[in-house]
Amino acid sequence: MTTTDVDLPTAVSQKFPSATPRASLDCPAFNVPATEALSVLRFLRDEQGYDFLMDLTAVDWSAEKSPRFTVVWHLYSSTKHQYVRVAADCVNDAGPAMPTTTVLWAGADWHEREAFDMFGINFEGHPDLRRILMWDGYPYHPLRKEFPLAGRPADFHDPEISAETKTGLISAPMVGGPFVATPGEPMSEAEPRAKDEAWNEQREKPE
């Protein structure tokens, strides 16, 4: 049953004293401990009417920060037509983890797989936690701060791609970049080309 007699920040703080308001210009937002994230999200769903998981993502604040990773959930109430944001820090930076929310929303499945793939966050209890964008065995997490924009060459065991590259190495998530055009060429006729800035062990900085 949805409670409507108190405003959301008050309701959350009364139920979870460890939850703190998070600066936000668009909707109510809270920071919560990872150990209470699932309970807070269940409370928002079952007692506050935030029944739809709009998005689940993560933030890498950089290797110099601790905690380094934060998981963020965006919820929507189909009755109130309002949003709420919940964020929780992953305590273990070496192997960041967070409880799965697939027990609350089936749609969290692919969101959590993407965060696992791109950031390396382990969602404990997920029924099928595996990469969703990169191939199995890819050694990097492309949305981490240290990952270069143009990608890192890595082995991709596909006969067609291996034949095209001759080395079996491709850059991911993109080959080359940024896109450039020849100076003085009319933009209406220009065909953008990728400037190769792929990073590898022998080439630490783009030329």
pLDDT at 207: 44
pLDDT at 158: 66
Both 113 and 164 in one domain: the answer is no
In a domain, 86, yes or no: yes
Both 167 and 110 in one domain: the answer is no
At 113, the amino acid letter reads R
Both 168 and 105 in one domain: the answer is no
pLDDT at 164: 60
Both 86 and 14 in one domain: the answer is yes
Rounded CA gap, 122 and 59, in Å? 14
The domain boundary residue, chosen from 109, 124, 139: 124
Both 12 and 62 in one domain: the answer is yes
Range of the domain at 65: 8-124
Residues 6+ apart with CB under 8 A from 48: 2, 3, 8, 11, 77, 84
Both 102 and 180 in one domain: the answer is no
Write out the two tokens for 65: 């920060």
Both 102 and 19 in one domain: the answer is yes
In a domain, 71, yes or no: yes
Rounded CA gap, 145 and 119, in Å? 9
Both 25 and 77 in one domain: the answer is yes
Task: Compute the C-alpha angle 83/128/145, nearest 5°.
Answer: 65
- CA 140, distance to chain mean position in Å, is 14
In a domain, 199, yes or no: no
In a domain, 88, yes or no: yes
pLDDT at 148: 83
Give the rounded percent of residues in the chain with a pLDDT score beyond 90. 60
pLDDT at 155: 74
pLDDT at 188: 60
29-31 and 20-21: which strand pairing? antiparallel
Both 111 and 158 in one domain: the answer is no
pLDDT at 43: 98
What CATH number has the domain bearing residue 26? 3.30.460.80
pLDDT at 13: 94
At 49-84, the pLDDT tens digits run 999 999 999 999 999 999 999 999 999 999 999 999
In a domain, 2, yes or no: no
In a domain, 132, yes or no: no
- Average pLDDT per 10 consecutive residues for the chain, totaling 207 residues: 67 96 91 97 98 97 94 97 97 88 97 97 96 90 88 72 62 54 62 53 48
**CB-based contact 55:73 (threshold 8 Å):** yes
Number of structural domains found in the chain: 2
Both 60 and 119 in one domain: the answer is yes
End-to-end Cα separation, the chain, in angstroms = 61
- The SS3 call for residue 82 is strand
